[in-house]
């Protein structure tokens, strides 16, 4: 994300860390969805969270496009780490991705 952050306009930088911090929840949600999720669904969910949290209008196409780009960068990093694979429309967890999600879920259960 550091490279992506350098290209982020100052106005939008507030939600870069927010999205980056949501990766553990994304991995767990992907397991709950069977391990494969359309990239469009991840982008829509991220946009909804950003718009709600930071007060953007739902129809702000410029910010939505930026969030989509950031989600693509996050998915690319997961693929680079070997935790996910991506084709043009879907993201699939690898065995490593499932293991990471399991560890995250166990850690979250321990916090309750």
pLDDT in tens, 22-77: 899 999 999 999 999 999 999 999 999 999 988 899 999 999 999 999 999 999 99
Residue 12 has pLDDT above 70, yes or no: no
Which pair of tokens denotes residue 34? Answer: 């069977």
CB of 26 within 8 A of CB of 42? yes
Distance between CA 33 and CA 52 in Å, rounded? 23
Measured at the alpha carbon of residue 30, what is the angle toward residues 38 and 78, in degrees to the nearest 5?
Answer: 80
Closest CA to 17 of 54, 62, 42: 54
| Average pLDDT over the chain, rounded to an integer | 86
Residue 1 has pLDDT above 60, yes or no: no
Domains defined along the chain, listed by start: 2-111 (1.10.10)
Strongest mean pLDDT among 8-17, 74-83, 103-112: 74-83
Beta strands in the chain (DSSP E): 36-38, 84-86, 90-93
Which pLDDT does position 54 carry in this prediction?
87
């Amino acid at each position: 994300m550091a490279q992506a952050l350098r290209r982020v306009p100052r106005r939008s930088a507030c939600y870069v860390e927010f999205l980056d911090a949501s990766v553990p929840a994304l991995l767990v949600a992907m397991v709950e969805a069977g391990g494969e999720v359309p990239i469009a669904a991840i982008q829509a969910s991220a946009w909804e969270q950003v718009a709600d949290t930071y007060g953007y209008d739902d129809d702000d196409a410029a910010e939505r496009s930026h969030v989509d780009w950031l989600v693509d960068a996050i998915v690319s990093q997961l693929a680079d780490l070997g935790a996910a694979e991506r084709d043009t429309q879907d993201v699939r967890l690898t065995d490593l991705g499932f293991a990471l999600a399991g560890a995250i879920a166990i850690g979250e259960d321990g916090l309750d």
